[in-house]
Structure 1
Amino acid sequence: MQVVVCLTSFNRTDCARISMEIIKLNWPRAWPVVHACSDAGYVPYLEDVLVKRDPRPLTVGANDLLLASMKAAVERFNPEYVIHLEADTWIFDQAVIERYLERLARHPHTMIAASSWSTDCVPAWRRSPLLGRRLRAHLAGVLRPLGFSYGIRERKSLATQFFIARNTPAFMQMLENLRVKDDDFLEKVLYTAVVDRFGHGAILNMPEREPVHPQYRASCEPLTLVCHHWPSAKDAPSPQIAPHLAPADRLRGKKECLADAPLKRRGPYMEQLLTSDDLAYYNGNARRGG
């Protein structure tokens, strides 16, 4: 099957270059990469197609980059499937994606494979000074073994950070018709658009990452996915700033995750991250927390 990777970046261009080194130098199957970027200083690297876009506010800009990358992929390659990865989201093992491609191929009514962008409220409830919230955490412990998802929010969403979509004219038309404002939740907008156009059965869920927040926000080992923003463990946000982070997340920045990954080849941007003592350069002025 013909597959294209759509990569989108605003100002995390070092992450984007390393993502391309993972894809181009280490994934066994060669898939073209279309990169939509709104960093004015970025120059072409390993991508097959570079689409430059003007920078825009967060949600509007994310939607613009997503649509620009998808349109370019369809116009240039007309693939059967498109994989979308935000620049800071690395997938080390191509086989993870191939498994979902096979599942999509077996179920022609499905249009998109993705996790939700859901949140488990229980960890925060347990830490809360409010008795009512601590009681809710206890109630969740009783109800969840019975099959209830009590305390899990934002399930009606699709993670735009990483998804696999079937390329059809109807799907592309749906994307082109998305209308977002900067205070919108793009993950909810995409979910609503998919369900309204194709129905709930069009979504193939990725349960390995459910619920995303807080346990799998920074990384998800079953998907070989790493997506946090701190370049090394010493740059990780403190417990005061990010109390939701697990201790293991604080010990593994992008540098440590990359060092542990079973990659056969390393590109120059990987080497720079792995060998530099001063990582102030990494991703320029992009936000590092969370």
Structure 2
Amino acid sequence: MQVVVCLTSFNRIDCARISMEIIKLNWAYKWPVVHACSDDGYTRYIEDVLVKREPRPLTSGAADLLLASVTAAIDRFQADYVIHLEADTWIFDQNVIRRYLDKLAEKPHAMIAASSWSTDCIPQWKRSPLLGRRLRAGLASAIRPLGFRYGIRERKSLSTQFFIARATPAFLDMLSGMRVKDGDFLEKELYAAVVERFGRRAIINMPEREPVHPHFRHACEPLSLFCQHWPSAEDAPTDRTHPDLTQDDRLRGKKECLATAPLMRRGPYMERLLNSSDLRYYNGNAKRSG
């Protein structure tokens, strides 16, 4: 079984290099890394294949990088499975991926394993000045233990940050046929394309991260997944700007998560993040919030 990691980046280049160091220096199973990148100034690091793409607007650019990386994984390595990671999405524990690879292998009709890109409305409703919304929050809290998912939005979506998929000709054809416009919700477009081509049974959900927003948007410990945009605790959002985040979310940045990660080896870009007192260099002018 040939497994290939498809890494995609626009301007979070330091995150991309550290992701490669996590994968290439620490994962027990040595899978090739295909890196599709649209940063003009980026030069090859330790990826096995670098695919340079022209910069595009956010949504169409993300779709272009995704297609380019999967195409190269199939063409260069005859991949059976691909793992897609956006540059700022780090997975420390390779066993998380192996577990979902096994789930895909066990189900002949399954094509992709991913969480949704869903939102839990309860935190927002609880803070609302409107009585009706506060009552909705109470109702949702009461009926969720009974199996109802009231107040969870955008369930018909697939996280493009991290997913695992069968690298079949049909899957590649599906990606090639997606016509994504700027302003589209890429996670919803991917879900729609998968369901239209393969049916709902093609999706294996990752319940550890459900619902994603707000509590698992930046970190999901059960998946060993960390994707904060802020490099350190000093850069973390405040209660005022991000009231939905937990105190742990606000206090931790990439630096703190990396420092406590159970990694056997550290690369030079990890060391720079861990030891630099001035992190203004990190990811250049990439957005640090959101």
Q: Which TM-score bucket, shorter chain as reference?
A: over 0.9
1:135 matched residue in structure 2:
135
| Aligned-partner SS, 1:103 | helix
2:211 matched residue in structure 1:
211
| Aligned-partner SS, 1:16 | helix
* 1:213-245 C-alpha deviation (Å, 9 max, x unpaired): 001001000000001100000101111111111
Identity of aligned residues (%): 75
Q: What are the equivalent positions in structure 2 for 1:215-230 lying under 5 Å apart?
A: 215-230=215-230
Q: May I ask how many residue pairs the two structures share in their alignment? A: 290
2:60 matched residue in structure 1:
60
2:83 matched residue in structure 1:
83
The answer to whether the 8 Å contact 2:115/2:206 transfers is: yes
What's the offset of the Cα at 1:152? 0.0
- Residue type of the alignment partner of 1:174: M
What's the offset of the Cα at 1:108? 1.2
Q: Distance in 2 between matches of 1:94 and 1:191?
A: 25
Q: Distance in 1 between matches of 2:246 and 2:57?
A: 30
1:160 matched residue in structure 2:
160
| Aligned-partner SS, 2:83 | strand
- Residue type of the alignment partner of 2:48: D
Q: Distance in 2 between matches of 1:244 and 1:17?
A: 30
Q: Distance in 1 between matches of 2:263 and 2:106?
A: 30
- Residue type of the alignment partner of 2:124: A
What's the offset of the Cα at 1:129? 1.1
Runs of 4+ in structure 1 over 6 Å off: none
- Residue type of the alignment partner of 1:95: N
Q: Distance in 2 between matches of 1:165 and 1:82?
A: 5
* 1:114-139 C-alpha deviation (Å, 9 max, x unpaired): 00000000001001111111010011
What's the offset of the Cα at 1:251? 1.3
CA RMSD of aligned residues (A): 0.5
Q: Distance in 2 between matches of 1:258 and 1:142?
A: 38
The answer to whether the 8 Å contact 2:89/2:162 transfers is: yes
The answer to whether the 8 Å contact 2:157/2:190 transfers is: yes
1:173 matched residue in structure 2:
173
Q: Distance in 1 between matches of 2:78 and 2:189?
A: 25
Q: What are the equivalent positions in structure 2 for 1:1-290 lying under 5 Å apart?
A: 1-290=1-290
The answer to whether the 8 Å contact 2:11/2:286 transfers is: yes
Farther off after superposition, 140-149 or 10-19: 140-149
- Residue type of the alignment partner of 1:137: A
The answer to whether the 8 Å contact 2:70/2:167 transfers is: no
Q: Distance in 1 between matches of 2:56 and 2:187?
A: 18
What's the offset of the Cα at 1:141? 1.3
| Aligned-partner SS, 1:41 | coil
- Residue type of the alignment partner of 1:130: L
| Aligned-partner SS, 1:256 | helix
- Residue type of the alignment partner of 1:192: A
Q: Distance in 1 between matches of 2:182 and 2:246?
A: 30
The answer to whether the 8 Å contact 2:59/2:185 transfers is: yes
Q: Distance in 2 between matches of 1:23 and 1:146?
A: 40
Q: Distance in 2 between matches of 1:141 and 1:251?
A: 27
| Aligned-partner SS, 2:7 | strand
The answer to whether the 8 Å contact 2:9/2:87 transfers is: yes
Q: Distance in 2 between matches of 1:23 and 1:201?
A: 30
Q: Distance in 2 between matches of 1:256 and 1:162?
A: 21
- Residue type of the alignment partner of 2:70: M
Q: Distance in 1 between matches of 2:251 and 2:242?
A: 14
Q: Distance in 1 between matches of 2:252 and 2:238?
A: 13
Return the TM-score normalized by structure 1.
0.99
| Aligned-partner SS, 1:84 | strand
What's the offset of the Cα at 1:3? 0.2
Structure 1 residue ranges without an equivalent (≥5) = none
Q: Distance in 1 between matches of 2:149 and 2:261?
A: 33
| Aligned-partner SS, 1:70 | helix
